[in-house]
Structure 1
Amino acid sequence: MIVNSTRGLHDCELCARPENTFFKRDAGLLLGSGEIRVFSPEGDVFAAPNLIYHYVNDHKYRPPLQFIRAVAEGPVPFSDEYSRLLDAMGLIWRENPLREGGLRPFKLVQTADGIKKVFVDE
């Protein structure tokens, strides 16, 4: 689930070869296309790029303890409480899955003829 979708993709600047980042568990998610919100039980609100999963998993980034605690103890996405908190902030959220037979992972590559869309094998 993302809020504040972007009109483009942000590549990971820490990777040796920056390219679009995909996460796949039950459904594929395109990372680098928006932000997430995390709410603590005390009412704190944290914003992070949805690439944070990639930063933590692949680059061993450790967010602040308050953020980690909010992820572990705060309301979970898709719950009524989470939706209520987003609504109260005036934020619109949406799912961002890569559906079967739908979107395919790709990257944009500069060629001599201009920019070309290249599909990436998963």
Structure 2
Amino acid sequence: MLKIFSRYVSIGVINTLIHWGVFALLMHLLNTGQSVANLAGFCVAVTFSFFMNAKYTFKAEATGLRYIIFVSFMGFLAFATGKIADHFSIPGIATLIFFSGTSLVLGFIYSKFVVFK
């Protein structure tokens, strides 16, 4: 299980860089709210993450249904995190840090026991 989690974390680092880059672009160049920026950043990054984790971490087939199940759950988490941050005027960096940590743990558990079981 540790080896699988290590692969998941490695892919997660790249995923996080993609997510944070899109988030920053949308927040600072397009002046969107955190909920929209966090959801969009997540959607771009999750596509990379899903296919890489299917192939290298869980060695499972990356089907459309699995993608939808994963993106729906994690997308809700991303949007809800941003929405709460907007409501409480939490700085964007805090939103990103919280979401990155939360999605790493919950995403791994969800992937292992639901998406790629």
Query: Which interval holds the TM-score relative to the shorter structure?
Result: under 0.3
Greater helix proportion:
2
TM-score, L = length of structure 1? 0.23
Greater strand proportion:
1
Higher relative contact order (CA 8 A, sep 6+): 2
